[in-house]
Amino acid sequence: MTTADILMTAPMMPVVIEGLDKACRLHRLWEHEDRDAFLREVGPRIRGVATSTLYGRLEASLFDRLPNLEIVSSFGVGYDNVDAVEAGRRGIVVTNTPGVLDDEVADLTIGLLLATLRKIPQADRYLREGRWLKGPFPLSPTLRERKVGIVGLGRIGKAIARRLEGFGVSIAYHGRTRQEGVSYAYHPSLLGLAEASDVLIVITPGGVSTKHLINAEILKALGSSGVLINVARGSVVDEQALIEALKAGTILSAGLDVFEDEPRVPQELIEMEHVVLLPHIASASVHTRNAMAQLVVDNLVSWFEGRGPLTPVLETPYRGREA
């Protein structure tokens, strides 16, 4: 057990709470009605933070209250809930939970793509409402001969691409740079990828740099037979532009696991019959969420045992305690 004081900003999975209770002195911010008074008293002792998107964004205003903070361990592969640039400027390491959720998210992505194209949820409702008794369910679009573009060929993007290979579809990608050792066609511009694709799968990080990356121009380039699948962050897609494109038939349909203002989903999307909407569940299996939770704990324990962080993010690379 370490003597370090750790702040948990909002309730997290039992694996995190129990693990940190055993490993350190854990302080639960949400249990204190007067959080300002609590942070005035305990803030200077806090050396680590465990957090998730439930708390909101960790930025300079909270860092100011924690002058001896060394590390933030964030739950999730996306970490736009933490101002990592500001953390790096202050010498604070930020970690996330990559790797352990890659396969789960990739599996869900393929399921969402098939559900969107083959209208699986709509067919289920059709049967349950007794409409099959009156006639067969209408024919659906298909994955056959589709050209799939992947926006962001990181760990999860590659896992999605490997699964798609089994369907015999054309696969291409867009990212900041061409990747070595990748056989898929590379498009240096997102617009070029959209023009060459009729399925666009978005699996790029969120944040300011990718806000509304998928806009009206990209949707128009995707075309009237095009399908958008978003398993990244809601902020990456201009939601209003997407709604207008779906209404106008600019694209065929969309499968969305994420939204701009979760858990509030625009009523216009909810009322559309030709889209599939999921409540941000790409990594939400018991197995995978427990693995992610354990990595939150392991990052903090490793740090305070002097072994460094296990999965530091790009903005806060770890160069050793002497660096």
- pLDDT tens digit string along 86-112? 999 999 999 999 999 999 999 999 999
Strands laid side by side in the 93-95 sheet: 25-28, 5-8, 46-51, 71-74, 93-95
Q: What average pLDDT does this structure show over 16-31?
A: 96
Report the C-alpha gap between 170 and 168 in whole angstroms.
7
Own/partner contacts of 259-262, CB < 8 Å, gap of 24 or more, are 259/234, 260/234, 260/235, 261/234, 262/234
Classified as helix, coil or strand, 35 is helix
The percent of residues above 90 in pLDDT, for the chain, comes to 94
The pLDDT assigned to 207 comes to 86
Say which residue the tokens 């970690």 belong to: 95
The pLDDT assigned to 100 comes to 96
- pLDDT tens digit string along 265-287? 999 999 999 999 999 999 999 99
The pLDDT assigned to 2 comes to 67
pTM: 0.91
Going from the N-terminus, what domains does the chain have, and what CATH number goes with each? 5-100+287-304 (3.40.50.720), 102-277 (3.40.50.720)
**Residue 163 above 60 pLDDT?**
yes
- pLDDT tens digit string along 187-218? 999 999 999 999 999 999 988 999 999 999 99
The pLDDT assigned to 220 comes to 98
The pLDDT assigned to 323 comes to 33
Active site residues: 233, 262, 280
**Residue 322 above 50 pLDDT?**
no
Q: What is the mean pLDDT of the chain?
A: 95
